[in-house]
Amino acid sequence: MFANYIKIAWKVLLRHPFYTFITLFGISLTLTVLMVLTSFLDHIFGSHYPETNRDRSVYIMSMVQRDSAQTGQSSGPMSFKFLTEYVKSLKTPERVTICTFVNSSNAYVGSQKIKLNTKFTDADFWRIMDFEFLEGKPYNEQNIANGEYVVVINDELKKNYFESTGESVIGKTIDIENINYKVIGVVKGSPATRPFSYADVYFPYTAPKSNYQQNGLRGGFVSIVLAKQKSDIPAIQEEFQERARRIPVPGVENGWKYSTIEIKAEPYAENFIGTIMDGGPGLKTAFFGILFFVLFMLLGLPAINLVNVNVSRIMERGSEIGIRKAFGAPIRTLVWQFIIENIFITFIGGAIALLLTGVIIQFINSSGWIAYADLTINLSVFLISLLVCLIFGFLSGVLPALRMSKLTIAEALKS
């Protein structure tokens, strides 16, 4: 029976090539957008190079200080000292790193200026991140304690600054803001969409301009806490909150008096969305409004359109419906027939979409729009797309099928 359904579905597709084109175009375009989007979200939130441990890490990105009247607040990264005292000393995690977000600086090759994205890190940064060292090695606690002027650079900077890709640059110096640093490692770069790991140059936190000795709670540093295993995350959060409660309040920061402090250690995605969620009701409404609108545009409109096309296509087949019913097809069987047909058509659209997505992703990766972009159609993206295909096929098949099932056989045969 299944083969019969598929045979009919295929013949129906061939019957009206233009309708078929519209249907498949709609399905494949929607699924392509959805799959590229899913792939992009996976690129942003998933555990990928060099942040392959992201799934068992929590991020401490921002501290919020509020005054007693709850009218003013100040938020942002923290001081190295604060993170050393309250985070580095945690007992539950496997490891903790303290580093800055992305800073900027300049280097010169002759008269040509190279804009640099820089990052100050401790030695544990290299143990939590899974960077691939193309040359040399990372700096360690010893290099940092000695206050050595060493840096790790990415391959892009090596190419731009040293104008060489072949020979090793380990031991060579790089002039950044009139200070000479010795290159001790070259890594394969991290995409700009991963701000915790992305930089062109990595300095030890003791390098000039890191402000690591800054007093007070706030500064320019953030922290990544690596759990021994994923299940340890709640315990780490609990331990950290227990520590955070010991932060003395009220206090004064840069002449401003705060009375409460809020600080969270959260997994990456929550941390990211939390910024929006904590942004007040207006931002939250706007976020969900946009999300709903985008989803509706992506899924709802094509589904409604497809339902309409399907209703007219199925109603065209009134005679066939009448015959099948007359010869013993119950309504349920016919409804399933049309759902299976639609799922089959949607899967064809899905296959086209998969192909298109592959081409688009390849294009994005090689275009250089996002440095070191590594978008992929991985298994989870593919499975989500497959699920979307199924929901799509089901939604666009069930309504026309139900409408059709209400026809009496005599009416259907007359059509």
Partner 1 sequence: MKEEREEGDEWEEDINTLPCNPYFLLVPFLLPPPKNMIHLQNIEKVYRTSTIETLALNNINLNIRKGEFVSIMGPSGCGKSTLLNVMGLLDEPSKGTVEIDGQAVTQYRDKELAKLRNQKIGFIFQSFHLINDLSVLDNVEIPLLYRSANGRPRQDYAKDALTKVGLSNRMKHFPKQLSGGQKQRVAIARAIVGNPDIILADEPTGNLDSAMGNEIMAILQQLNNDGATIVMVTHDEQMAKRTHRLVRLFDGTQVL
Residues in contact with partner 1 by CB under 8 A are 1, 3-4, 7-8, 11-12, 15, 319-320, 322-333, 408-410, 413
**Residue 321 Cβ, how far from partner 1 at the closest point, in Å?**
10
Q: Measured from the CB atom, is 18 or 327 closer to partner 1?
A: 327
**Residue 10 Cβ, how far from partner 1 at the closest point, in Å?**
9
**Residue 355 Cβ, how far from partner 1 at the closest point, in Å?**
27
**Residue 15 Cβ, how far from partner 1 at the closest point, in Å?**
7
Q: Measured from the CB atom, is 320 or 374 closer to partner 1?
A: 320
Q: Measured from the CB atom, is 247 or 329 closer to partner 1?
A: 329
Q: Measured from the CB atom, is 54 or 325 closer to partner 1?
A: 325
C-alpha span between 289 and 66 (Å, rounded): 28
C-alpha span between 319 and 410 (Å, rounded): 9
C-alpha span between 372 and 334 (Å, rounded): 51
Q: Give the list of residues 6+ apart from residue 324 with CB closer than 8 angstroms, or none.
A: 334, 337
Helices assigned H by DSSP within 207-317: 233-244, 268-277, 280-295, 301-315
**Residue 20 Cβ, how far from partner 1 at the closest point, in Å?**
13
CA distance to 94, 98, 143, 154, 206, per residue, from 148 (Å) = 27, 18, 5, 19, 8
**Residue 339 Cβ, how far from partner 1 at the closest point, in Å?**
16
Q: Measured from the CB atom, is 309 or 373 closer to partner 1?
A: 309
Q: Measured from the CB atom, is 176 or 348 closer to partner 1?
A: 348
- Pair 186, 216: CB distance under 8 Å: no
Which helix (H) or strand (E) segment holds residue 105: the answer is: strand 103-109
> How many CA atoms lie within 13 Å of 169's alpha carbon, on the beta-carbon side?
27
Q: Measured from the CB atom, is 241 or 319 closer to partner 1?
A: 319
Q: Measured from the CB atom, is 77 or 322 closer to partner 1?
A: 322
**Residue 310 Cβ, how far from partner 1 at the closest point, in Å?**
16
Q: How many CB atoms lie within 10 A of CB 37?
A: 14
For residue 173, the 8-state DSSP code is: E
Radius of gyration of the chain (CA): 29
Torsional sign, CA 122, 119, 94, 374: negative
**Residue 337 Cβ, how far from partner 1 at the closest point, in Å?**
10
**Residue 352 Cβ, how far from partner 1 at the closest point, in Å?**
23
C-alpha span between 45 and 39 (Å, rounded): 10
User: CA torsion angle for 220, 223, 224, 228 (degrees, to 10)?
Assistant: 160
Torsional sign, CA 184, 188, 190, 196: negative
